[in-house]
Amino acid sequence: MDGKKVTITYTDEFGIWPNLVDDFRSNLPLRNLTWKSANRPVRIIQALPVDLKRFVPGSNESQHEMPVTLLERPYLHLYFVNCDDHETYRQEVRKQIRDWLNVITFRKNQEWLIVYVPKQDTIRTSASKYFNMKGTVFDKIKADFNASKRDRCVQLRLNDHDTETFEIWQDLILKIKEGILSSFGQHVTQYEDDVRRLDAQRSVPGWNYCRFFIQKEGLAQSFEIMNLYEDALLQYDELEASFFQVLKDRALAWFGKFGACEPGDDSANILDIKKKPYRELIMQNSISVFDFRSYLFARQCQLLGRLQRPVEICRRAQLFISTFARSIKENMMDFEHFLESWVYSSCINVVGECEELAPLTTPDEKTSTAFNAAKGELLDLARKQLDKLGIYCGHLPEVLPFTTALSEAPSASEKASETGDEKKSGVTNKELLEAIASISSFDSLYMRQTNRVLKAYQGSMRTRSLLRLQGDIAALQFHRKNYEEATSLMEELPIKYGEQGWTVIENALLINYAACMEELGHTKEYPFRLQKEATHYAEKLKTLSEVLDKEIVRPFKPMFAVTVTAMVDDITDDEPYLGVEVKNNLPTSFKIERLGVRLVGGQTDDEVWFAIHDQDFNPGVNSYRLFSDTTACGSYIVENCRLHIGKLVFTHNFLNENKKKLFRINEHPAVLRAQVIAPTEIHIGEQQFFIAQVHTGRTSISDGRLTLAPLSEGLSFPSQPTYHTVIKPVVDDTVVDEIIKEEQMDADENGIKLPSCGPNQLLQLKILYDCNWGAVEHKVKITIEYISKDKRRVFTAKNIVKVWLPLAVTETSIFREDSLILKMNVTLNDTLPVRLLSTKLIPSKAYEVTNSVPMSLMLSPITIFPRQQASFMYKLTHNKEVDDDEIMNRPSTQIHFLVEYRTLKDEIQHFAKEKLHDVLKSYNMSQHSDFVFENIRERFLELLDYQSYGIGDILDLGEIDIAGCEQLFQSHGDVKGELVNAVKEFWEKHNRITFEEVQDNGKDLKSVISFPVDVPLSKILNTVELVIPNSKHLVVGEPCHCVLIVRQSPYWNHRQQAEAIEFYYDVNVDFDNWLLSGQKKLCFSYKMNETKEFPITLIPLKTGRLLVPFVRVSSISASIFSESVYINNAQQVLVRPRTQSATFFIEQQHRIHPMGPATGLMSGHHGGMMDEIAM
pLDDT digits (tens, 9 = 90+) for 40-97: 888 899 999 999 999 887 644 444 344 444 566 888 999 999 888 888 988 898 999 9
Which amino acid, residue 230?
A: E
Give the confidence band of 1149 by pLDDT, cuts at 50, 70, 90: low
Mean pLDDT of 537-563: 75
Q: Give pLDDT, residue 264.
A: 84
Say if residues 528 and 490 touch (Cβ distance below 8 Å): no
Give the confidence band of 851 by pLDDT, cuts at 50, 70, 90: low
Alpha helices in 899-945 (DSSP H): 904-922, 929-939
Compute the Cα dihedral for 243, 247, 253, 255 and give only its sign.
positive
CA distances from 680 to 10, 761, 802, 902, 1010 (A): 77, 20, 12, 10, 11
Say if residues 334 and 261 touch (Cβ distance below 8 Å): yes
Rounded to 5 degrees, what are φ and ψ at 468? -60, -45
> Is residue 1146's pLDDT more than 60?
yes
Q: How many CB atoms lie within 10 A of CB 5?
A: 16
Q: Give pLDDT, residue 882.
A: 66
Contacts of 603 (CB under 8 A, 6+ apart): 632, 633, 634, 797, 798
> Is residue 1150's pLDDT more than 60?
no
Instruction: Work out the end-to-end distance of the chain between its first and last CA atoms, rounded to an integer number of angstroms.
Output: 105
Q: Give pLDDT, residue 812.
A: 86
Q: What is the CA radius of gyration of the chain?
A: 47
For strands 834-842 and 895-903, give the pairing: antiparallel
CA dihedral 382, 387, 389, 390 (to 10 degrees): 140
Categorise residue 934: left if φ over 0, alpha if ψ from -120 to 50, beta otherwise. alpha
In terms of Cβ atoms closer than 10 Å to its own Cβ (0-12, 13-18, 19+), residue 802 is exposed
Contacts of 475 (CB under 8 A, 6+ apart): 399, 400, 401, 402, 486, 512
> Is residue 447's pLDDT more than 70?
yes
Determine the angle formed by the axes of helices 503-520 and 463-479, rounding to 10 degrees.
40
Mean pLDDT of 739-761: 89
Q: Give pLDDT, residue 336.
A: 80
> Is residue 414's pLDDT more than 50?
no
**CA–CA gap between residue 154 and residue 139 (Å, rounded):** 10
Selected residue with higher pLDDT from 462 and 1136: 1136
CB-hemisphere CA count at 13 Å for 202? 12
β-strand partners of 79: 11, 114
Q: Give pLDDT, residue 1014.
A: 82
- What is the per-residue DSSP string for 753-812? EEPPB-SSEEEEEEEE-B--TT--EEEEEEEEEEEETTEEEEEEEEEEEE----EEEEEE
Say if residues 332 and 315 touch (Cβ distance below 8 Å): no
Q: Give pLDDT, residue 596.
A: 94
3-class SS at 728?
strand
3-class SS at 506?
helix
Nearest-5° angle of CA 805, CA 807, CA 808? 110
Mean pLDDT of 216-235: 91
Mean pLDDT of 1146-1151: 60
Nearest-5° angle of CA 1130, CA 1134, CA 1137? 145
Alpha helices in 923-1069 (DSSP H): 929-939, 946-952, 962-968, 976-989, 995-1001
Q: Give pLDDT, residue 831.
A: 85
**CA–CA gap between residue 115 and residue 155 (Å, rounded):** 6
Tell me the per-residue pLDDT of 1021-1073, one tens digit each, with 9 for 90 and over. Answer: 889 999 998 878 889 999 999 999 999 877 666 565 667 889 999 999 999 99
Contacts of 149 (CB under 8 A, 6+ apart): none
In the chain, the domains with their CATH numbers are 6-200 (3.40.50.10140), 548-665 (2.60.40), 673-800 (2.60.40.1290), 805-1014 (2.60.40.1230), 1020-1136 (2.60.40.10)
Give the confidence band of 410 by pLDDT, cuts at 50, 70, 90: very low
Q: Give pLDDT, residue 579.
A: 92
**CA–CA gap between residue 942 and residue 936 (Å, rounded):** 9
Q: Give pLDDT, residue 1099.
A: 93
Q: Give pLDDT, residue 1044.
A: 93
Predicted model pTM: 0.52
**CA–CA gap between residue 416 and residue 1070 (Å, rounded):** 101
- What is the per-residue DSSP string for 516-569? HHHHHT-TTHHHHHHGGG-GGGHHHHHHHTTT-SS-EEEESTTTEEEEEEEEE-
Tell me the per-residue pLDDT of 636-691, one tens digit each, with 9 for 90 and over. Answer: 899 999 999 888 889 999 988 878 888 888 877 778 889 999 998 999 888 899 99
Say if residues 623 and 566 touch (Cβ distance below 8 Å): no
Say if residues 1028 and 1043 touch (Cβ distance below 8 Å): no
What percent of the chain is modeled with pLDDT above 70? 84
3-class SS at 368?
helix
Compute the Cα dihedral for 540, 541, 542, 544 and give only its sign.
positive
β-strand partners of 730: 735
Give the confidence band of 763 by pLDDT, cuts at 50, 70, 90: very high
Mean pLDDT of 307-316: 92
Rounded to 5 degrees, what are φ and ψ at 1022? -100, 125
Give the confidence band of 115 by pLDDT, cuts at 50, 70, 90: very high
Categorise residue 431: left if φ over 0, alpha if ψ from -120 to 50, beta otherwise. alpha
**CA–CA gap between residue 760 and residue 18 (Å, rounded):** 98
Q: Give pLDDT, residue 767.
A: 92
Helices (runs of H) and strands (runs of E) counted in the chain: 29, 53
3-class SS at 631?
strand
Instruction: Please tell me the total number of residues recorded for the chain in this structure.
Output: 1175
CA dihedral 149, 153, 154, 155 (to 10 degrees): -130
For strands 153-155 and 111-116, give the pairing: parallel
| DSSP conformational letter for 1097 | E
Whole-number mean pLDDT of the chain? Answer: 82
Mean pLDDT of 1136-1160: 62
